[in-house]
Each structure stands twice: as C-alpha cells, then as structure tokens.
Structure 1
C-alpha cells in the first residue's frame, strides 16, 4: 500500500515536472504565434493605412478593396498556376528520379547528392542564380540564340489561354514558368528523398509475389508501389502547397512583381504594401488571406492524420 502511494506521488511529481517544462513553450506560442495572428486579424479590420495608427473599426473594407484590386487578382492567378505546376512537377520529377536511383545504378550516391544539393541553398540564392541563367540577354539565352531561339522568360507579359476575369486576363502567365523551373530545381530533392525512402520500405517479397503471378513491372508499380506511396505523395503535396502559397523570397530575389504583375505573388504584395507603402491594414488583410489559403490545405490533412492515428 505504501509502495503504491509512493509510486502515485512519483508519477504526480513527474507530471508536474513535464508541465513545468512545457508551460514556457506554451506561453511563447500563445503570444508570438496565436497572439500575433489575432493582432494581424484585428489590424486587417481597421483603418490603419497611414503612418499614424488608426485602429477604428473598418469592417471588411480592406478585404473588399483587395478582391477588387487588379494587382491582387493577378496575384491570385499567379499563385494558382504556380502552385499547380510546382506541386505537379515536384511530385513527378521526384518520383521518376527515385525510381531510377532505386534500380541500384552505379554511382547512386553521387546522383543522390547532386539532386539533394539544391536543398542546401536558400530561395534567395536560387532566385539570384536563376535570374542570371534565364536573363534574356545573358546566361542560358546566349546558348539558345545560336539556334535562333530567344525566349523572354520572366520578362514575358503574355498570358496563355487567357480570358477576361474581373480586372485581369485569366490564364497561364508565361513568365511564371521561369519561377516554377527555379522552385522545382530546388525542391525536387525533397520529394526524391521522400519517395526513395518509401520505395526502400516496400518489401521485395511483395514484388516477387506479383512477378510470380505474371504481373509486369509496369503493373507492379501501378497496382502495388504507387498505392503504397500515396501517404508520401499526400505529405509532399501538403508541404509543397505550404511553400508555394506563402512564397516570397524566391520571387522577390528573382523577378520581383514583374511587368504587369505577371510574376507577382501575395507575399511580395504584402511586403511592399506594408513596409513600403505603409498601408498596414491592407497588408494585414493580405497576410490573413494567405494564412487562410494555407489552412485550407493543412487543417484537413492534420484532421485526417489525427483520425488515422486514433
């Protein structure tokens, strides 16, 4: 009996010790994450669009202004197509490269390191490098000009398959393709590592059993390997969507907002609106919209993961 009381006392002491260690982190998160999110939300509903603070309630005026604004509509268009192309190419390229590396080719470690190397760089470095490589008058275009090909890359203002939508021409901005190329070059290594780990985790016995049943290699990958890699694919989609929806440094270093805002994104618009134009309420509204866009991807994923664990 005495031993049970002593053990209960020890457990209680351990619990209080754990709580004591967690409380500072919880307080910091409440203040510097959720507190600042709440403050940003309040500012976005105010008239604070000058250097002089004005926190009087403005309702949804700032949000209505943004959704009627030519630049913000262009930002939403650019972000949509950037996200689609970026996620799709990262998944396909990473999957194909991981399948090739898994074939136990000679020099596998060299190829793996080459593909993973771009992840060691920041988006700022990537943006500067690719700005030079795709500059219409230098870099890669010097080679293409020999064949009479001189693409404008990120300076092109054309919109593919465009039609009028609101104040903008809705379609694929040609200039955003250059930004997609740079982003895919940097982040493909992440999906490669994820898929390679997934492929190495599939038992060889399953593939051998399928071969004995007469399945071809294509059928093995389509009906066994790819379905088993689906959780990894979902993880890659969520992480890449999170990156693409809040992208700022790559675009700012590589192209800026671009001519006619063809490469502009909400992150760049928010930075220039808030810290250059001193329109703090409008900048806060852009930040809240970006947060909600990320939450659309993250929250369902976390909810389904939690239900799966339960």
Structure 2
C-alpha cells in the first residue's frame, strides 16, 4: 500500500512538474529579474536605455530612495495618495451599493431575475468599455453637465476628469506618523479579535506592539522628515467620476456575493429572532451582518487587489498624460515605455507588487490557517 501511495505521489508530482517549472520561470523568475533591474541605473542615460547592449551599473536602492524622497518624483508620491483614496472609496462604494441591492433582491421583488441581470451586466464589460462610456457621459461640455438644462437650469460646470482641485491635503512629511497610526488601528482590531476568540497570547502581543508603535509615533515619528521641505498631497476631485465608474462596474459583483450569503442564512434563524422580539434593524445588526462578515472580507480583498492595479479604466477615461488622475500602474507604464527609465519603472512595479502582497498574503495565511484547524 505504501508503495502504491508513493507511486501515486510520484505520478502526481510528474504531472504538475511542467506547470511548476513554467511558473518558476515566467512568474517568480521574472519577478526576481524585475527586482534586480530596479537596483540598477538602466535608463538614467537615454543612450544607454536604447542601446542594444546597455552598460548597466548596480546602484542598490537608489531608485526607491528617489521615488519616496527625490525632488523630481513628487508625481509618484501623489500617485500613492491617489491610490489610497481610490481604494478607500471604491471598496466602500462597492460594498455599500452591493449590500443595498442584495438586501432589496433578497426580499424577492417582482422581476427579480431581470433586475439581477441588469445589476450584474456592468461586470461583464471590460474596464476599457466602461471607461469609454463614462468618458462620454462626463465630458465637461456635455453629458451629465447638461442634465440641469432639461429642467431650465444652467448647465453644470464641474470638470469631472480634468479638475486639479485637491481636498484633505496632508504633508508627505507626516507619512511616517500617519502610517504608524493606521498600523496601530489594524493591530487594535487584531488584538480585539484575538481576545474575543480566547487567544490571549496573540492578543497581548498585538496590544504590546500597538503601545510601542504609538509611543514611537508620538515621539520619534513626529520628528522624522522624509523631505527637507513641505510637500502637500490630497484627494484630487478629478477622481470622483472615475470612482463612480468603477463602483458602477463592480457593485454587481459584491451584490452577487451578498445575495448568495443572504440566501444561505436559514429562514428559521430569522423567524427565531423575530419571535424573540428583534426588530428588523436588530435582525440585520445582530444576526445577518455578522454572518456576512466573511463575505465582506473576501470582497474587500478582491476589490483592494483590483484597485491597487487599476490601469485600463483610468487610461480610457482620463488618458495617460492627465497628472491629476495618475496612479502608480499608469506612471510605471509612462516611466518604462515612454521615458525609457527601465530601472525606475521596475522599482515602481516592485512597490506595486508589495502593496498587492500586503493585501493578499495575510488573507491567504488566515485562510490556510483556518483550513488546517479544521
């Protein structure tokens, strides 16, 4: 039996070996190559970048230092801020709209199948098609700006995709302090969850880490200045239209997830809560929303992954050269293939990879850990 088992294991390994080799070469091999390229000066000299045999020097993390503290790379830092706000409002919008639509459809209204199809249809489109449609609608001289004229009002003047106005500005020099506060909030959430699940050791570790991080933030974190001058960054109002288009396309996805979760809750559980005197709001607050928490987490991971890599929607709606609506993925394209700064473009790509990994890896770890416990 052991011989047969070992033989099956060997056959299984041989079957997946070609896939492992191809994965190692074309995924992880290229990631390592990109990382090495980001540590060189490839592209600093235009003649070197276009040469058939470029003379490349190893310069370490100089490209990364310039991106975060260099005078000429302020656009990259604004792109990171744009990505933060886009991710935040994109996720909140998709979750809110998707949950609302799911709750309405869960009540089985007339024409449920028709409305479900209508709400899911935008998801079947590519971001290029969505961007083209919404670009037509958000033209400053037409589209939604013309709607007030239908009731005799002056046309709107909002520059949907070209506005350079910023709100909620913060200085880049406050980044270490703000990052420490965000990480502290996440650690507090982890500590509360650990204590709630009876994992006291994990809870105490998270609580201690939070205390040390806050102590650092309010002492050394306040004095750490990445730049020798003040550089404000904020939320560009030009992103409002892009966020609306992205939410319109992906809210059907969250609606489908939430609707499946709502339909999976036993009706007996709802009836028991009503018999105990729970109001409709208490039913959702105490029973339904907690049961939908795993779906919310999964949706947040997928939507966060999409938002960090967003490229095609913004390219179609605002173009590649519109700085107010720039994001790291678009800047990586411009830096690498227009400016021919190969190494700096590779550095932007590696930063994007780390941002995506920061979202995906903890989720995968928690899922694998829960499966092992089962």
**TM-score, normalised relative to structure 1:** 0.94
2:50 corresponds in structure 1 to 51
- The answer on whether the counterparts of 2:78 and 2:234 sit within 8 Å (CA) in structure 1 is no
Deviation of the 1:54 alpha carbon: 3.5
* Secondary structure in 2 matching 1:48: coil
2:128 corresponds in structure 1 to 124
- The answer on whether the counterparts of 1:40 and 1:288 sit within 8 Å (CA) in structure 2 is yes
Deviation of the 1:138 alpha carbon: 2.0
> CA separation of 1:212/1:245 partners in 2, compared to 1, >3 Å: closer, same or farther?
same
Q: 1:188 aligns with which of 251, 256, 263?
A: 251
- The answer on whether the counterparts of 2:106 and 2:262 sit within 8 Å (CA) in structure 1 is yes
CA distances 1:237-277 after superposition (whole Å, capped 9, x unpaired): 00001000111111111112564x21100011000111111
Structural mapping, 1:158-197, within 5 Å: 158-165=165-172, 168-197=231-260
Distance in 2 separating the partners of 1:278 and 1:205 = 63
Structure 1 residue runs without a partner (length 5+):
1-6
1:287 corresponds in structure 2 to 349
CA distances 1:262-301 after superposition (whole Å, capped 9, x unpaired): 1100011000111111100000000000000111111111
Structure 2 residue runs without a partner (length 5+):
44-48, 174-229
Q: 1:107 aligns with which of 111, 114, 129?
A: 111
Distance in 2 separating the partners of 1:44 and 1:144 = 51
Distance in 1 separating the partners of 2:231 and 2:248 = 29
Deviation of the 1:142 alpha carbon: 1.9
2:67 corresponds in structure 1 to 66
Distance in 2 separating the partners of 1:34 and 1:245 = 20
Deviation of the 1:178 alpha carbon: 0.9
Moved more, 83-92 or 50-59: 50-59
> CA separation of 1:269/1:145 partners in 2, compared to 1, >3 Å: closer, same or farther?
farther
Distance in 2 separating the partners of 1:207 and 1:116 = 27
1:275 corresponds in structure 2 to 337
CA distances 1:116-162 after superposition (whole Å, capped 9, x unpaired): 10111111111111111111112222223553222111111100133
Distance in 2 separating the partners of 1:178 and 1:137 = 15
Aligned residues: 303
Deviation of the 1:73 alpha carbon: 1.0
1:21 corresponds in structure 2 to 15
- The answer on whether the counterparts of 1:199 and 1:225 sit within 8 Å (CA) in structure 2 is yes
1:205 corresponds in structure 2 to 268
* Secondary structure in 2 matching 1:153: coil
